[in-house]
């Protein structure tokens, strides 16, 4: 995979990471972000600790603050000497890859460059090929349809997919093949499906997409994430939004969504 490296010019942070950040943007806050992580992990430390940093990372991207991901990565590696930087990078990289179609490439690229900058500071080179096979070597549409069905089981809005498939068939095909097939299904050698879905839910929550957030909160619980974990994720997204002066909706009540999910699953079972 090695390629000749082009010249990287100018101040790295100014040129590649912070170029999209407004002058009045809230500054990096180590203590605050560590508190967010600790509070999130307290919902289920054994389950969340291995990828809680990635959850915060994608929420930063969704809040258009991908510039924070590099400093966050640097701080975590510096504080925890047991953390393997390359392994940690792989987890965050995979999380960003899964969510970038949802939150937008321009919001994620500063995070990517931030990670590159820290790895370069540490003298760590990454020279590897893709983990997933070439798109011509697997039926990613079939995989995507299967994964999408697993994710949305019990969510209770089949009309959404019907409308998109009926009126936006090319977009639907791309979503099923690339997002749910190539990206989400392809992440399952690093994450469990319930973790991948929680990462997607984290990004959508932090975007402020209220209707889609409700769906993905239900999907997260349907796949095995507890109500306590999903509630902690919602609360963390709100706190990040408040810090970033991007207040998120209060109209996402996880206990009510859990009840909806229970009823939808019961109806689906009765209809078999």
119-173, pLDDT tens digit by residue? 999 999 888 888 888 888 779 999 999 999 999 999 988 999 999 999 999 999 9
Q: Is residue 247 part of a domain?
A: yes
> What per-residue string of b and e applies to 208-245 under the rule 16 or more CB within 10 Å gives b?
bbeebbbbbbbbbbbbebbbebbbbbbbbbbbbbeebe
Q: Is residue 188 part of a domain?
A: yes
Q: Is residue 171 part of a domain?
A: yes
CA dist 151 and 197 (Å) reads 7
pLDDT of residue 3: 61
Q: Is residue 5 part of a domain?
A: no
Q: Which domain holds residue 43?
A: 27-127+136-272
Q: Is residue 8 part of a domain?
A: no
- Asked if 154 contacts 266 with a C-beta cutoff of 8 angstroms, the reply is no
The total domain count for the chain is 1
CATH number at residue 225: 1.20.1290.10
Q: Is residue 194 part of a domain?
A: yes
> The pTM is what?
0.94
pLDDT at 2 over 70: no
Q: Is residue 21 part of a domain?
A: no
Task: State the CB neighbour count (10 A cutoff) for residue 169.
Answer: 10
């Amino acid at each position: 995979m090695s390629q000749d490296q082009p010249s990287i010019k100018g101040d790295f942070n100014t040129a590649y990471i912070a170029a999209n950040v407004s002058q009045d943007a809230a500054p990096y806050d180590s203590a605050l972000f560590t508190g967010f992580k600790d509070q999130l992990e307290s919902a289920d430390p054994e389950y969340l600790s291995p990828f809680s940093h990635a959850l915060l990372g994608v929420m930063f991207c969704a809040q258009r603050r991908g510039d924070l991901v590099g400093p966050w990565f640097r701080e975590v590696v510096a504080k925890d000497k047991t953390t393997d930087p390359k392994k940690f990078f792989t987890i965050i990289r995979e999380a960003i890859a899964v969510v970038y179609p949802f939150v937008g490439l321009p919001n994620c690229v500063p995070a990517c460059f931030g990670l590159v900058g820290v790895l370069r500071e540490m003298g760590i080179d990454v020279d590897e090929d893709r983990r997933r096979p070439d798109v011509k070597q697997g039926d990613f549409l079939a995989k995507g349809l299967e994964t999408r069905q697993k994710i949305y089981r019990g969510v209770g809005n089949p009309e959404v997919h019907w409308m998109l498939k009926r009126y936006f068939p090319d977009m639907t095909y791309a979503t099923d093949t690339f997002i749910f097939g190539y990206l989400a299904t392809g992440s399952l050698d690093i994450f469990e499906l319930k973790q991948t879905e929680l990462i997607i839910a984290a990004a959508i929550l932090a975007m402020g997409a209220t209707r889609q957030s409700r769906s993905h909160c239900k999907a997260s619980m349907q796949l095995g994430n507890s109500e306590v974990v999903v509630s902690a994720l919602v609360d963390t997204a709100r706190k990040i939004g408040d810090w970033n002066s991007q207040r998120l909706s209060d109209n996402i009540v996880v206990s009510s969504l859990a009840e909806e999910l229970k009823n939808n699953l019961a109806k689906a079972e009765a209809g078999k």
